[in-house]
Amino acid sequence: MFRLTIIVAATKSNGIGKNASLPWRLPKEMKHFTLATSTAPEGKLNAVIMGRNTWESIPMKYRPLPNRINIVTTRNKNYELEKNAHSYLHADLASALAQVDSQANSIHRAFVIGGASLYAESLALAGTSSIAIVDRILLTRILSPNFDCDVFMPDFLGEKKEGGQTWNRASHEELVTWLGFGVAEGVQEENGVKYEFQMWVRGL
């Protein structure tokens, strides 16, 4: 069984999007996302798993996300993905995970990058999948302002009691060690938005 990492920016009420796009513009936070999902040892790549809407929200000139294996899931059997050596299309999360598992020797880490339904499905893997489990969440917590969102990720902290599993917040030092690069500590402010880089680890 391999371990999945969710990476997400979310408000205190877990809002992640508005009108099919991000409600905020945070270049430094986006750089953090890029570094986190692309940093890998020589000879290996990370995989980023996403739903079709998340794929289409990426400007065409930036996709597929470079230096990463892009895996897109959609139930649309007629959907056509731009042909590229590092882009793959799958009908569901299960087949996407099977691909990652089959390439385990060449993939360093696998990240789920959105959207909301894929976050929910991947978090529910604990106890249902023999292939993978989400054991880590890289969360950029948007502290203020209180953005009006119409898409939300699951409240993984609020749901922890039901499954009998706990999510523990890692220290800043643990976050830096796991990522392998420097991360700004404490509350950051960019374009009038206050946020904080956090890492949460599932207690199994």
Quick one: 90 exposed, middle or buried, by C-beta within 10 A (0-12, 13-18, 19+)? middle
Does residue 29 carry a catalytic annotation? yes
Does residue 143 carry a catalytic annotation? no
Rounded CA separation 55/71 (Å): 9
Q: What is the dihedral of CA 29, 182, 13, 202, to 10 degrees?
A: 140
Rounded CA separation 58/73 (Å): 15
> What count of Cα atoms within 13 Å lies in the side-chain half-sphere of residue 90?
20
Residue written as token pair 């509350």: 187
Q: Which of 22, 35, 81, 157 is catalytic?
A: 22
End-to-end CA distance of the chain: 13
Q: Which of 29, 121, 123, 125 is catalytic?
A: 29
- Residues annotated catalytic, as ranges: 22, 29
